[in-house]
Amino acid sequence: MSNLSDEEALCEVLAGPGIDVVLCAIQGIGALKPVMAALRAGKTVCLATKEVLVAAGEWVMKTAKESGGRILPVDSEHCAIFQCLRGDDRRALRRIILTCSGGPFHAHPEQDLHTVTLAEASHHPTWNMGAKVTLDSATLMNKAFEMMEAAWLYDVPESQIEVVIHPQALVHSMVEFVDGAVLAQLGPTDMRLPIQFCLTYPERFPALMQTLDFTQPLDLKFFPPDTRRFPALDLARRALRMGGLAGAVLNAANDAACRRFREGTLAFDEITLSVRAALEQTPVGEADSYPALECAAQVARDVVDKFR
């Protein structure tokens, strides 16, 4: 194994004997090859990396189906949906309802998003996350990515996926069935819960964290997202309708735009504007090979780097 690159060595280890479950939390599209290696070997992948399904969802899910591999979603929202759907006929599903904290600017509709600073965008009201995910939450691109994840994980069109702002972040997501029944999964804002669920599935082990106290008042509020101020959700719907390499373009363009914002060469509201411009240049083709994905990503980066 000494002649292998770090990535090749990781893929070889994940595909080898002695490993049944893989927890993937590698940031970004760099997680794709290890995830594919594990799935091709029939492993269970507990997936916490959104970009894998955003960029190559159809390819990844097809690989899992053909090889006998399985994906368990670690994201709190998708873990919630997975739990709400257990044992129910998917044909009875009317819609998936993703909850969203709204980021730092939902409660401040008067704020000029063009003048937002990095410090302001880096302050998440409820979750303690890494810098990139926190910035994506501020633009709602994180929720846009989760919409795309839901489409691939649960094989539903974007028209059956809705997003609601839920600032308390106690309801992690909901599903509505054709008879009008709605199931929701509630829990504290603690990622240990979905991680534990996936690692111990299908069993349930005692909680490692403080659970909700229902003897105390719970203030649960829901609002529609403002897609005019935060167009990322509409960009995700557009990418899903486009198919092919659009997801790879969306992901790479957002990476490049976030980098430029951190460098101070792009305004906050221009992150999604530049991503939209990149989507308009999406190359024709399927997201079913690494060269095709890299070509699409390079197109996206070029468009964003030249934006303005």
Question: pLDDT tens for residues 223-237?
Answer: 999 999 999 999 999
Residue among 39, 116, 102, 95 at smallest CA distance from 72: 39
* 154 has pLDDT over 60: yes
For the chain, how are helix, strand and coil distributed in percent, rounded to 5?
50, 10, 40
Higher pLDDT, 128 or 168: 168
Residue 2 above 50 pLDDT? no
Give residue 198's pLDDT band: very low, low, confident or very high (50, 70, 90). very high
The per-residue pLDDT for 244 is 98
pLDDT tens digits for range 37-82: 999 999 999 999 999 999 999 999 999 999 999 999 999 999 999 9
The tens digit of pLDDT for each residue in 76-106 reads 999 999 999 987 778 899 999 999 998 889 8
C-alpha distances in Å from residue 33, one per residue of 8, 73, 135, 251: 9, 17, 25, 16
| Nearest one of 120, 123, 156, 162 to 267, comparing CA atoms | 120
Computed over every residue of the chain, the mean pLDDT equals 93
pLDDT band at residue 27 using 50, 70 and 90 as cut-offs: confident
Residue 266 has a pLDDT of: 97
Q: Which residue has the higher pLDDT, 132 or 166?
A: 166
* Residues comprising the chain, all counted: 308
Residue 3 confidence class, pLDDT cut points 50, 70, 90: low
- Adjacent-strand bridge partners of 186: 171
134 vs 123: CA distance, rounded Å: 7
**CA-to-CA dists, residue 256 to 136, 139, 270, angstroms:** 12, 14, 12
pTM higher than 0.85, yes or no? yes
Task: State the pLDDT at residue 90.
Answer: 81
Asked whether the predicted pLDDT for residue 113 surpasses 80, the reply is yes
DSSP state for residue 223 in the 8-state scheme: B
Q: Which two tokens stand for residue 48?
A: 């916490």
